[in-house]
Amino acid sequence: MPATESESQEQTLERLGLEPESLPRHIAVIMDGNGRWAQQRGLPRIEGHRRGVGSVRRTVEECCRLGIGQLTLYCLSQENWKRPRLELDLLMELLRRYLIDERDTIMKNNVRLQVIGRREGLPPEVIDEMNRTLEMSRDNDGMVLCLAINYGGRAEIVDAVRELSRRARDGQLDPEDVDETIIAEALYTRDMPDPDLLIRTAGEQRVSNFLLWQISYAEIWVASVCWPEFAEEHLQQSLVDFARRERRYGGLNG
């Protein structure tokens, strides 16, 4: 059940039976089903992506309201470049407009924007607006909103290995010193906590090359609705289910 406009964070958590410490610090979302949602309604696929922007806004604002520390959204995968050229052009324009139109929401909610992924191949106008929004929100100290754009988990690991190889070649790193911490510090997500909760919509049960290193111990929650239908009540249900789970990290409790 969504919150009423007058409901405070404390009231929402009490209604859901949650304590602040039971919330995930970092939620990652695979926003699936935009095109499928549109096709089911006889609409162009891009219309599903347009409607999905509303779900992004709702999710960002609700995570801010509930005190989530970081939200990472899978916006564009490297595999998405296989789509038809017209759809890609429309997606790039939609992304550019999002980076402009959501600045008020970002600043109003004290959100700090971050972006991960390779910039190669992105249109210059998208990169320009991305840089403006990154700079504008740089000093905000509220929730971190991380957009994964032209992102692939395997590519991220490849880039990390290349960086560490260069450091070893230049005598800056002893290969024997390489451990999980050093690898994590070479990833795009350095200085970010690993996701505690991974949400995927449209009923799909795969991780799709998303944050492969970082989700090693994330709890996975699958919503049956397509992303344009994802609303506050779905996010809240994921939090309730997350709080009920016993996280062992490979060990034993009790």
> What pLDDT score does 254 carry?
52
Shortest CA distance to 92 belongs to which of 76, 103, 79?
76
In a domain, 2, yes or no: no
In a domain, 252, yes or no: no
Query: 209: domain range?
Result: 22-151+196-243
221 assigned ligand-binding residue: no
In a domain, 50, yes or no: yes
Active site residues: 32, 80
CATH at residue 93: 3.40.1180.10
In a domain, 108, yes or no: yes
Which sign does the torsion angle of CA 232, 210, 46, 99 carry? Answer: positive
> What is the pTM assigned to this prediction?
0.94
What digits encode the pLDDT tens for the residues 42-95? Answer: 999 999 999 999 999 999 999 999 999 999 999 999 999 989 999 999 999 999
The predicted model gives 159-173 an average pLDDT of: 98
In a domain, 14, yes or no: no
> What pLDDT score does 247 carry?
75
Mean pLDDT for the chain overall: 94
In a domain, 5, yes or no: no
The predicted model gives 155-173 an average pLDDT of: 98
232 assigned ligand-binding residue: no
238 assigned ligand-binding residue: no
In a domain, 180, yes or no: no
Number of H helices, E strands in the chain: 9, 6
Residues whose CB falls within 8 Å of the CB of residue 35, separated by 6 or more in sequence, listed in order: 45, 48, 49
Give me the number of domains the chain comprises.
Answer: 1
Q: Are 72 and 149 in contact (CB under 8 A)?
A: no
Lowest mean pLDDT of 24-33, 86-95, 177-186, 218-227, name the range: 86-95
In a domain, 60, yes or no: yes
33 assigned ligand-binding residue: yes
208 assigned ligand-binding residue: yes
167 assigned ligand-binding residue: no
SS3 198: strand
234 assigned ligand-binding residue: no
